[in-house]
Structure 1
Amino acid sequence: MSNISKKNKGYFSEEIVKNYYINNGFKFIEQNFTVKGGELDLIFSKVGSLKFIEVKNIDGINDLFDYITKKKLNFLIKTINIYLYKFDITNIDYSLDVVFVKKNEIYEIYDNIGI
């Protein structure tokens, strides 16, 4: 078993994903926006839209949708709405991606889910 803590592994995975989106033309806005009951791992903008990213570090693969339960998705949507309200963001397109990282590489991206 690795000596890397789960939290550090999560931050490392977020950095991998952050670099991927930056390299694909997105502007980095914020990391680990946290409110009571929720957290947004990464937030980016591109051409007048926002992209919220949930990063999941995985070891094995069964059904990737098992990692994002309906309850988790509801917390993410609630947190996105709080973010938009807090910064008075209206009339903008936004989406939520879930990015799975396995063995320090992006394994799969679920683009624009649940919103």
Structure 2
Amino acid sequence: MSRAKGNVAEDRASLFLLENGYMIVDKNFYSRFGEIDIIAYKEEVWHFVEVKSALDYELAVQNITKSKLSKLIKTGDVYLKKNALHVDYMYDAIIVTPENIWHLENITL
């Protein structure tokens, strides 16, 4: 995904989260392990969100690989330690297609 398309998908995902009661805490947090697209908060739970965009759902979901999820988890750990946070959290994915947005909560390896 090009950076421009990625930015559009991340903007749509952020708006989706805001409309569903989440607070956006940070975007594009980098560590040596990778990047977290969106860090959000709702009902005392922090959400580390990977945004994937494609023409259809299956294509986007296939891009959430074990390697990508492992990097997301490691980067989430860095964020928690850097900010001295001892909170409930989960790793999510948001799938963005031209017609729809899906929020997959608490994804695991």
TM-score by structure 2 length? 0.89
User: Where does structure 1 differ by over 4 angstroms across 4 or more consecutive aligned residues?
Assistant: none
Matched residue, 2:104: 110
Higher-Rg structure is: 1
Contact 2:52 2:60 in 1 (8 A): no
- Asked whether the 8 Å contact 2:25–2:41 carries over to 1, the reply is yes
TM-score normalised by length of structure 1: 0.85
Q: Give the C-alpha shift of residue 109 in structure 1.
A: 2.3
Deviations 1:5-50 (A, max 9, x none): 8101101110101011111111110000011121000011122210
| 1:44-63 pair list within 5 angstroms | 44-62=40-58
Q: Which residue of 2 aligns with 1:79?
A: 75
Structure 2: segments with no counterpart, 5+ residues: none
Unaligned runs of 5+ in 1: none
Pairwise CA RMSD: 1.9
Amino acid at match of 1:87: N
Contact 1:40-1:80 within 8 A present in 2 as well? yes
Q: Percent identity?
A: 32
